[in-house]
Structure 1
Amino acid sequence: MRDFQKPGRSAVFASNGACATSHPLAAQVAIETLKRGGNAVDAAIAGAVLLGICEPQMTGIGGDCFVLLKPAGSEEVVGLNGSGRAPAALRADELRAKGHARMPTHGIETVTLPGAVDAFCKLHDAHGRLPLADVLAPAIHYADEGVPVAPRVAFDWATDGHDLRGDARRYYLFDGAAPQVGQIFRAPGQAEVLRRIAREGREGFYGGEVAEDIIASLRALGGCHTHDDLTATSADWTAPISTGYRGVDLLEHPPNGQGATALLLLNILGHFDLGRLDPLGAERAHLEAEAAKLAYDARDRFIADPAARMDHMLAPETASRLAALIDPRRALPDPSRTAEAVHRDTVYITVVDRDRMAVSLIYSIFWGFGAGLASARFGINFQNRGAGFSLVPGHPNEAGGCKRPMHTIIPGMLAEGGRVTMPFGVMGGSFQPCGHARLVTNLRDFGMDLQTAIDAPRCFADADGLRIETGYDAGVRDQLAALGHRLRLSDEPLGGAQAIILHPSGVLEAGSDPRKDGCALGY
């Protein structure tokens, strides 16, 4: 139990339904959708689409999503891959001929087709209860009427807004500048797009005037995207991959997402007795950083579309060999900078309803404001997910037409004894697998309650050294430096977690990360 004399927040306990996400309006809309008779799918879609208006720097209908779903009355989790593909005409050799050694971060070359809308429609068709028009009504309302810009959103907007170009500046800047906290952001063009989706389903987005706006805008910007590319966009139903850890099973979406990295990371950490360590101490942080370096190296070798050698990556002997490389007294070199761009901008929502349907949904345009480009008529912000491709010849993740890039966004679920116990996600781009593993070990090795496990300070080893949050004290930082880590105080919070525990008693416990503007709500 937390110290009630110190700043903090309690988890939310409820019996009928719960939602945790990164913006309070989206959480409120999800709960209202449940109260109107919708199920967890309806509520998750309603909240997620609204997040594109509340946090436009993070996500939007020009982006992608992934979903893990536990249907009501079943413990069999299914996945939905809502990530779009590169245009058929994309060629890695042409990009290399233009002088690119790695994929650009922004610009037209990075724009992959938007997959989220098809996924939302497919998910709703298969599992929704309310009419789609009712599900989208709140987002349409707020897109028309406007949303006050929240503090964390304003913080990100001030940095990410510099990358906006052309029409995107018209739609996402206020007289050429990022908005201040409390200013009203409106997106009437997106409201009109959502009305068309509400009437026509996926055809309202992938056909007609909206499709013409998307493709004409991309072509005008120099893209090779075609109507055939957009029409062919289709989400795929998938089966989760998993590993066991200290009595629980971690379920992840299969590649092209990086969920397998979290599984390998836990497999490596399972070779160490973390529970005897100080959860906020240097030794625990060191072991996690070293395991992450090794797991992410495997990610960069194997995760692609399609993914090869997953059996090898997740084999027990692979984890055993990698764990043996970790020296408790000395840090490995910093990992090499990856060929693929990785970043932090995404949103996550989890909802559990009265019938215990559970949804874990993550939704993103990749970097802040994606490619920095938007469609001319409706202001649809284009994602830069193609920046996740490699330009190394012959690499499994080498850029190519109709391929899906390696994706950083990963929804998660925990199960115990064959019963789903916690849908969850940890935002933060490349950090996400490490965030998944840290949340699981906080809960299982250190016995933290959910909100404490979410709040606890974080660190992350990448090519720039060991990024560490200010929640670690100076003594721990000194010890990590003595182990050979090149420390870098993080200039922003590392990720943001949301989760709901399904207790055997029937009570729901929902936690939300204070690193974001959002909250958990229940009823």
Structure 2
Amino acid sequence: MFSISGDGDAAQLETRYPGDRISGEHFATRSAVIAQNGVAATAHPLASQVAIDILKQGGNAVDAAIAANAAIGLMEPTGNGIGGDIFVILWDPETEQVYGLNGAGRSPMGLSFDAMQAHVERWGEIPPGGSLPVSVPGTVDGWFAMHERFGSLPMSDILAPAIDYAEDGFPVTEAIAFYWDMNMTRFAPAAQSGMIEEFENTRATYLTADGDAPREGEIFRNPDLAQTYRLLASGGRDAFYEGEIARTIDRYMQRIGGALRYEDLAAHRSEWIDPVSVNYRGYDVWELPPQGQGIAALQMLQTLNGYDLSETGFMTAQTLHLMVEAKRLAFEDRARFYADPDFAPAPVEALISAEYADQRRALIDQDSAMESVAHGDPAILQDGDTTYLTVADSNGMMVSLIQSNYRGMGSGLVPDGLGFMLQNRGQLFSMQAGHPNVYAPGKRPFHTIIPAFVTRNGEPVMSFGLMGGAMQPQGHVQIITSMIDFGLGVQEAGDAARWRHDGSSEPTDAVSTGGLGVLHVESGMPEATVEELRALGHDVVVDAGGYGGYQAIWRDPDTGVYWAASEMRKDGSAIGY
């Protein structure tokens, strides 16, 4: 990497400090991108530019989002790709409403619970690598479902930029190079142990001729993925689920002893679903219902509706204490109720209701952290590593899209000659009999990836998301409160120091030990706040990493002008025109 640091060493670099901004919040890294014709915010600058180019060619926000997702699947394989799943919330200006798409794939029909249990006994859990956690990749069908309903340009035009980059190459960016090397290092022992049944295809696809992960600035090419994208451009979604690609995946899985079959791929379809919302101080915040974790953010916001955070203050211990306690309550419900609704429908309306929030809020002590937390009983109210991107166009269409291979780069398995890795999303099943999220053939696992959207008085005002496993609903709440309660701009809200609470029960059998868990905070958190949180009983750790990756677009409902923001913790950018 080129450096102008002169004779300075690492110790000297650690003592250097950022400069001062003459406007806005002092901690902001940059101004928001403001444009009126169209904007895109993704985790890679080249993918953002691809989206803008598609808009300039006459495409709409759906076309541009698909094009950007195809590009970033190539450029950021550490977090996403067409071997994974996709979820979308979009605003359609013609019908003036939000739409939701669940593009999650199901577990193989030929892998029974008993067979999975036998493997779990060997590995101690559903393993993160190899064929066992592989479920049907849903992304490609999600693209074509979006395109069929809302798209404008031909898919051949939409996929052309990603094809060119895959064939000709692109320079790898800093953060992605870091995660690329880390993921490949983690794969090595799993391949040696036999957990990952076949690893040579991954080496051939993602490592250099020297056997290393590509370094920052190094040109990376993926001609196999270029050919796969060409098949999609000419043959549509059927090429993936019923044609040559499906046959290749089937042959590969049979060769390595995996369970996924052609019939699993052929049976897959995405599902259009209705997003759900709560009103937070006059703004309707929209998430997708389970099997995703989006309503955890809504439960937290509904709980926080009972407090005036503008009075308790920005980044104060009292405000953060209330937010963390709301998270702890919501996450116990998340562990108990969130699962594939085809198998175990969650009581969504009750969980996000104001009445239920009143019950849960009563458990919070404003002067001390709760010693233990259990899930609630919403039935008493009833009668019976990921990438995020967002694009908006001149007509007012806004797309909030999140897509992932789940843990790291995925399963470590690259089917012969296809140029992409299969996801390991199936690791998020429970193996506890009777649990709503228990593993079953043909079932969708609990999902962490969640897009979000905000409207006000029936008008779209923001599409946004924040990557990072269980950090996502916590991050959504931090963005919303920073903007609505404390008046931060769309970029400032993303740049502010974040917190992340770990230690709650999980939908994957991990149960809270009954303790407080650990509250992680970034180094930008005021020292006084950290000490006061500890005095309230929280186990606070100041560290770096694990706080997600954010993109957002804010729309002025009066003028239609867009403000776009991108995560300073990653390589991305927002671009407009």
**Shared fold by TM > 0.5?**
yes
Alpha-carbon offset, residue 409 of structure 1: 0.6
Is 1:444 paired with 2:498?
Answer: no
Worse-matched range after superposition: 238-247 or 486-495: 486-495
> What corresponds to 2:326 in structure 1?
291
Decide which of 153, 157, 162 is 1:134's aligned counterpart. 157
1:65-76 correspondence to structure 2 within 5 Å: 65-76=86-97
Is 1:212 paired with 2:247?
Answer: yes
CA distance change for structure 1 residues 355 and 459 in 2, over 3 Å: closer, same or farther? same
Q: Which one-letter code corresponds to 2:274 in the other structure?
A: A
Number of matched residues?
515
Q: Does the 8 Å contact 1:102/1:390 carry over to 2?
A: no
Alpha-carbon offset, residue 456 of structure 1: 0.8
Alpha-carbon offset, residue 458 of structure 1: 0.5
Is 1:50 paired with 2:71?
Answer: yes
SS at match of 2:470: helix
> What corresponds to 1:313 in structure 2?
351
- Partners of 2:110 and 2:81 in 1: how far apart? 25
CA distance change for structure 1 residues 4 and 273 in 2, over 3 Å: closer, same or farther? closer
Decide which of 509, 512, 515 is 2:569's aligned counterpart. 515
Alpha-carbon offset, residue 70 of structure 1: 1.1
1:247-262 correspondence to structure 2 within 5 Å: 247-262=282-297
Is 1:412 paired with 2:466?
Answer: no
Worse-matched range after superposition: 166-175 or 443-452: 166-175
Q: Which one-letter code corresponds to 2:572 in the other structure?
A: G
- Partners of 2:233 and 2:540 in 1: how far apart? 49
> What corresponds to 1:59 in structure 2?
80
Q: Which one-letter code corresponds to 2:158 in the other structure?
A: V
1:277-356 correspondence to structure 2 within 5 Å: 277-306=312-341, 307-333=345-371, 345-356=385-396
Alpha-carbon offset, residue 482 of structure 1: 2.1
- Partners of 1:437 and 1:455 in 2: how far apart? 14
Worse-matched range after superposition: 182-191 or 467-476: 467-476
1:240-268 CA-to-partner distances (Å, cap 9, x unmatched) read 11111000000111221111111101011
Decide which of 96, 105, 115 is 2:138's aligned counterpart. 115
1:486-505 correspondence to structure 2 within 5 Å: 486-503=539-556, 504-505=558-559
Worse-matched range after superposition: 104-113 or 408-417: 104-113
CA distance change for structure 1 residues 251 and 3 in 2, over 3 Å: closer, same or farther? closer
1:56-205 correspondence to structure 2 within 5 Å: 56-98=77-119, 99=121, 102-164=125-187, 165=191, 166=199, 167-174=201-208, 175-205=210-240
Deviating above 4 A after TM superposition, structure 1's stretches of 4 or more consecutive aligned residues are 3-7, 333-336
- Partners of 1:476 and 1:383 in 2: how far apart? 39
Q: Does the 8 Å contact 2:100/2:288 carry over to 1?
A: yes
Q: Which one-letter code corresponds to 2:176 in the other structure?
A: V
Q: How much identity, in percent, do the aligned residues show?
A: 44
Alpha-carbon offset, residue 179 of structure 1: 2.2
Alpha-carbon offset, residue 208 of structure 1: 2.9
SS at match of 1:108: coil
- Partners of 1:4 and 1:380 in 2: how far apart? 41
Q: Does the 8 Å contact 2:249/2:261 carry over to 1?
A: no
Alpha-carbon offset, residue 486 of structure 1: 1.7
Decide which of 481, 484, 506 is 2:560's aligned counterpart. 506
Alpha-carbon offset, residue 156 of structure 1: 1.4
Q: Does the 8 Å contact 2:28/2:495 carry over to 1?
A: no
Q: Which one-letter code corresponds to 1:359 in the other structure?
A: V
Is 1:237 paired with 2:290?
Answer: no
1:309-332 CA-to-partner distances (Å, cap 9, x unmatched) read 223312222211211111222223
SS at match of 2:455: strand
- Partners of 1:437 and 1:224 in 2: how far apart? 39
SS at match of 2:87: strand
SS at match of 1:325: coil
Where does structure 2 lack aligned partners over 5 or more consecutive residues?
1-21, 192-198, 375-384, 504-516
Q: Does the 8 Å contact 1:101/1:391 carry over to 2?
A: no
Alpha-carbon offset, residue 333 of structure 1: 4.5
- Partners of 1:115 and 1:515 in 2: how far apart? 28
Q: Which one-letter code corresponds to 1:318 in the other structure?
A: Y
SS at match of 1:379: coil
> What corresponds to 2:469 in structure 1?
429
CA distance change for structure 1 residues 4 and 415 in 2, over 3 Å: closer, same or farther? closer
> What corresponds to 1:270 in structure 2?
305
SS at match of 2:216: coil
1:18-71 CA-to-partner distances (Å, cap 9, x unmatched) read 111111001101001000100101100000110111100100010110111111
> What corresponds to 1:341 in structure 2?
none
Q: Which one-letter code corresponds to 1:66 in the other structure?
A: F
Is 1:13 paired with 2:51?
Answer: no
Q: Which one-letter code corresponds to 1:310 in the other structure?
A: V
Alpha-carbon offset, residue 437 of structure 1: 1.1
- Partners of 1:253 and 1:385 in 2: how far apart? 18
Worse-matched range after superposition: 216-225 or 144-153: 216-225
Worse-matched range after superposition: 58-67 or 368-377: 368-377
Q: Which one-letter code corresponds to 1:316 in the other structure?
A: A
> What corresponds to 1:339 in structure 2?
none
Q: Which one-letter code corresponds to 1:212 in the other structure?
A: R
- Partners of 1:243 and 1:268 in 2: how far apart? 11
> What corresponds to 2:494 in structure 1?
454
TM-score by length of 2: 0.86
TM-score by length of 1: 0.95
Is 1:383 paired with 2:423?
Answer: yes
- Partners of 2:39 and 2:528 in 1: how far apart? 39
Q: Does the 8 Å contact 1:461/1:467 carry over to 2?
A: yes
Where does structure 1 lack aligned partners over 5 or more consecutive residues?
337-344
Q: Which one-letter code corresponds to 2:247 in the other structure?
A: E
Worse-matched range after superposition: 465-474 or 444-453: 465-474
